Amino acid sequence: MLSVALARALRDAGLHWTPARGDSFVIPGREMDDDVFVLSDMTIEVHRFPTGPVIGFNGTTEWALDAVEQSDTLWIPAEHQLRELLGDAFAGLAPTGNGYRVTLRVDGATSGYEGADPAEAYARALLDLLTSRRAA
C-alpha cells in the first residue's frame, strides 16, 4: 500500500478521485493517518449532495465520526488503479534486486521508476507523468 506522503504528492500533482466501492482512503490531520478505510456498500458509502460527495460511515454509532467530506480524505490508489492510470504510457514492470521498476514510453522516450513494491513504482511513474503534463 502506498504511503500517505506519496498519495498526497499524487493528489497535489492533479490526480482526481471519484470514490468507488473498494477504494482505500485515509483521513489525514485528525490523528488518523494510519487508519485505512475502504469504501463498501455496507459500512462506508459515498453520498452525493449538491455541495459535493460525503463519505458516510454507516452502523458506526459508537464513533464520533459519522461522515466526512471527500475533500477531507486522501485516496490511497491500489496497484491496479495506478497501472490503469498510466494508460498507454505504461511499457512494463520488472523486478529488480531491491523491488520493482516501471518503464514508461512517452513520445518515443523511455524512462524508468523504481519502488519497493509494484504500487510504489507505478505511483512514482504516475507522479512524474502528472507533473510533466502540468508543466507542459
Residues 6+ apart with CB under 8 A from 84: none
Q: How far apart are CA 67 and CA 29, in angstroms?
A: 16
User: Amino acid identity of 17?
Assistant: W
63 has a pLDDT exceeding 60? no
Tell me the pLDDT tens digit for each residue of 79-115: 999 999 999 999 999 999 999 999 999 999 999 999 9
- Distance, in Å, from the CA atom of 114 to the CA atom of 102, rounded to the nearest integer, reads 6
The Cα–Cα gap between 1 and 122 comes to 11
Alpha-helical segments (H) within the chain: 4-12, 79-86, 118-135
Beta strands in 39-126 (DSSP E): 44-49, 52-57, 67-69, 74-76, 90-95, 100-106, 109-115
**pLDDT tier at 69, thresholds 50, 70, 90:** confident
Sign of CA dihedral 14, 32, 125, 113: positive
Q: Which amino acid is at 18?
A: T
pLDDT tens-digit readout, 32-60: 778 898 887 666 778 888 888 888 776 65
Phi, psi (deg, nearest 5) at residue 4: -60, -40
